[in-house]
């Protein structure tokens, strides 16, 4: 017996049928179907959650159908199996040794990303002797479940029910990093090709942002010089503006992410590389050759550089980027801060836009004329946040204005105040700070007033001239989600501090972290799309379970060997782990398992719906 969907007058109906064999008019035995029950129209029973029909069929086979009328036709359940085994006192079997089984799911994700065939084929092509895919799996699983150094991750091999490696030399983990670095572009392309084919990736929006990771080392890398003292190679770990305010050498990383929050590619740069200098190389190396349809690049003000933006539009794509108002021309500021032309949505939010013509230089220093839409908005929420973040500094300015004689200005304070200095009072050659009693004389408090007035205002520029201003603002706000993914990399995946040394190993390490982040995002997306969780608009990509809870749940998914070639799963009734399993349709009935049954669980997992 089985449930069948059929059409009647263009409408989907369900019925329960039974396959029978009977002779036709020629006397030959043929298969036909006998209708046992006309269930009714599908729309009457569909609960709105994904995969209703497969779930209905599964519930019928298990004897607990979603449609009560099918209960009378359910096959009789098999009698519960009885397990018998004995353990003698003093036997090693008295001690449990649960092993991680979450790699059942993780390995299926790697397979769907095409990495199993990639590593296997390239191993054969290059005649590599060690198990490069086994090491790669171990590094990726370890980063996702229990982040540690490369050597410590290799020692985790025995923690898995099916260890990724069998016979191996631990030192080959560093050879694997060399392999990953040498094939970085191919690995990224294989992942993206798989996501296009299997997950339907065709991003209309691509987010780009830059972050950096610090190294706990005494000093930065030296540049490589030739005999004449010319730089032939730049050191990678350099002093720069650390996002975490550490005075340590850093490496810069640019990350592309699609509109579903799944990473596309990374690119690494020396730590002293300015953000806007990373974009074009990152686009050329990773995105320009992708088979993506037209997309809109969204980035923050650090990327707002017209050679970059013209590179994007010359490739047939668009952009939405923020642009600093304080650094805009006086005419642009006057238009932004003028109350005229604003659409007032509420007392807490207003916006306006206009299309302007600009003359800018492209990447070849040629002058170009272009049109772009400028969107400016004011938000009470942003104003309060800016005031809160700058409260100490604003209070200091206020007290300074009232009683300058009470303050001594330090070198650090002078740097913060420099944007408010009156030009005629600064000795630009010596940088001399005047006597503190005369501070008021060279602080331009008109500029301070302008600064206060700018709080809460935000400016966005876009190539999309016909896009509604509110839509431009909403699409740009999605960029905050990529910052959340940086936090996952730095926190749950413990991407930094980085302990590998060479530029090749650093890049390979960051690529491993990117693959781990992709897998984390695929799990989160499947949970979100399952309909089993409420969607949080402020944490859309991470709705359901955050990375920390997923990591904890996957570490609980273990299997415990028992005597008699029997196995039992651990903690599969944990709420978070059960949500993950249910979202992927992984059914683990309450029973003991034999080894062959454990292997069959993996084959039935569907990663992309």
**Mean pLDDT, residues 584-600 taken together:** 87
Q: Which residue has the higher pLDDT, 85 or 547?
A: 547
Query: Whole-angstrom Cα distance, residue 144 to residue 142?
Result: 5
Of 364-368, 400-404, 600-604, which gets the smallest average pLDDT? 400-404
- Residue 398's pLDDT band, with cuts at 50, 70 and 90, is low
Report pLDDT digits (tens) over 375-388.
Answer: 999 999 888 887 77
The alpha carbon dihedral of 380, 381, 386, 389 has a sign of positive
- Do the Cβ atoms of 532 and 562 come closer than 8 Å? no
Report pLDDT digits (tens) over 156-201.
Answer: 999 999 999 998 999 999 999 999 999 999 999 999 999 999 988 8
Q: State residue 426's pLDDT score.
A: 47
Q: Is pLDDT above 60 for 420?
A: no
At 396, which helix (H) or strand (E)? helix 391-402
Instruction: Give the CB-side neighbour count of residue 236, counting CA atoms within 13 A.
Output: 19
**Mean pLDDT, residues 408-416 taken together:** 58
Q: State residue 87's pLDDT score.
A: 84
Q: Is pLDDT above 90 for 447?
A: no
Query: Whole-angstrom Cα distance, residue 325 to residue 74?
Result: 69
Q: Which residue has the higher pLDDT, 227 or 520?
A: 520
Q: Is pLDDT above 80 for 21?
A: no
Q: Is pLDDT above 70 for 301?
A: yes
Q: Is pLDDT above 90 for 311?
A: yes
Mean of all residue pLDDT scores within the chain: 86
Q: State residue 437's pLDDT score.
A: 46
Of 346-350, 410-414, 435-439, which gets the smallest average pLDDT? 435-439
**In angstroms, how far is CA 329 from the centroid of its own chain?**
36
Query: Whole-angstrom Cα distance, residue 236 to residue 498?
Result: 13
pTM for the model: 0.79
Of 216-230, 318-332, 391-405, 412-426, which gets the smallest average pLDDT? 412-426
Q: State residue 173's pLDDT score.
A: 95
- Do the Cβ atoms of 594 and 582 come closer than 8 Å? no
Neighbours of 374 (CB within 10 A): 21
Q: Is pLDDT above 80 for 275?
A: yes
Report pLDDT digits (tens) over 449-490.
Answer: 667 777 889 999 999 999 999 999 999 988 888 888 888 888
């Amino acid at each position: 017996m089985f449930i069948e969907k059929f059409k009647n007058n263009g409408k989907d109906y369900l019925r329960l049928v039974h396959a029978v064999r009977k002779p036709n008019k020629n006397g030959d035995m043929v298969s036909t179907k006998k209708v046992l029950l006309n269930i009714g129209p599908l729309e009457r029973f569909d609960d709105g959650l994904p995969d209703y029909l497969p779930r209905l069929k599964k519930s019928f086979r298990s004897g607990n159908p979603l449609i009560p009328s099918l209960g009378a036709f359910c096959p009789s359940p098999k009698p519960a199996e009885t397990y018998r085994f004995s353990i003698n006192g003093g036997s090693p079997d008295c001690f449990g040794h649960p092993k991680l089984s979450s790699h059942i799911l993780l390995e299926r994700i790697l397979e769907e990303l095409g990495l199993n065939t990639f590593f296997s084929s390239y191993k054969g092509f290059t005649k590599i002797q060690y198990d490069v895919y086994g090491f790669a799996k171990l590094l990726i699983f370890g980063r996702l479940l229990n982040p540690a150094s490369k050597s410590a991750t290799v020692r985790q091999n025995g923690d898995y029910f099916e260890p990724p490696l069998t016979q191996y030399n631990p030192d080959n983990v560093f050879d694997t990093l060399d392999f990953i670095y040498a094939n970085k572009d191919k690995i990224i392309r294989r992942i993206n090709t798989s996501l296009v084919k299997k997950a339907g990736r065709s991003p209309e929006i691509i987010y780009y942002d830059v972050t950096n990771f610090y190294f706990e080392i005494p000093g930065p890398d030296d540049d490589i010089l030739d005999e004449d003292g010319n730089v032939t190679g730049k050191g990678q770990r350099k002093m720069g503006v650390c996002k975490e305010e550490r005075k340590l050498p850093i490496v810069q990383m640019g990350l592309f992410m699609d509109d579903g929050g799944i990473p596309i590619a990374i690119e690494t740069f020396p730590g002293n590389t300015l953000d806007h200098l990373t974009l074009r190389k990152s686009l050329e190396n990773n995105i320009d050759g992708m088979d993506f349809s037209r997309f809109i690049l969204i980035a923050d003000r650090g990327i707002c550089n017209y050679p970059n933006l013209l590179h994007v539009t010359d490739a047939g794509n668009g952009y939405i980027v923020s642009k600093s108002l304080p650094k805009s021309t006086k005419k642009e500021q006057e238009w932004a801060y003028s109350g005229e032309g604003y659409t007032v949505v509420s007392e807490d939010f207003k916006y306006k836009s206009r299309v302007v013509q600009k003359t800018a230089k492209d990447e070849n220093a040629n002058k170009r004329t272009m049109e772009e839409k400028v969107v400016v908005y004011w938000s009470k929420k942003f104003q309060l946040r800016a005031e809160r973040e700058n409260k100490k500094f604003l209070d200091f300015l206020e007290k300074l204005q009232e009683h300058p004689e009470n303050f001594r200005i330090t070198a650090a304070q002078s740097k913060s105040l420099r944007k408010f200095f009156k030009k005629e009072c600064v000795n630009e050659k010596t940088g001399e700070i005047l006597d503190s009693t005369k501070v008021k004389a060279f602080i331009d408090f008109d500029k301070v007033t302008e600064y206060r007035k700018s709080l809460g205002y935000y400016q966005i520029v876009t190539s999309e001239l016909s896009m509604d201003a509110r839509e431009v603002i909403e699409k740009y706000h999605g960029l905050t989600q990529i910052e959340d993914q940086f936090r996952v990399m730095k926190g749950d995946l413990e991407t930094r501090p980085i302990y590998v040394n060479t530029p090749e190993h650093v890049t390979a390490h960051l690529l491993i972290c990117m693959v781990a982040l992709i897998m984390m995002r695929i799990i989160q997306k499947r949970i979100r799309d399952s309909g089993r969780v409420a969607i949080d608009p402020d944490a859309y990509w991470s709705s359901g379970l955050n990375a920390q809870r997923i990591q904890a749940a996957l570490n609980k998914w273990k299997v415990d060997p028992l005597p008699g070639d029997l196995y039992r799963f651990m903690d599969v009734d944990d709420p978070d782990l059960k949500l993950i399993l249910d979202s992927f349709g992984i059914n683990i009935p309450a029973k003991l398992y034999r080894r062959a049954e454990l292997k069959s669980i993996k084959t039935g997992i569907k990663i992309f719906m």
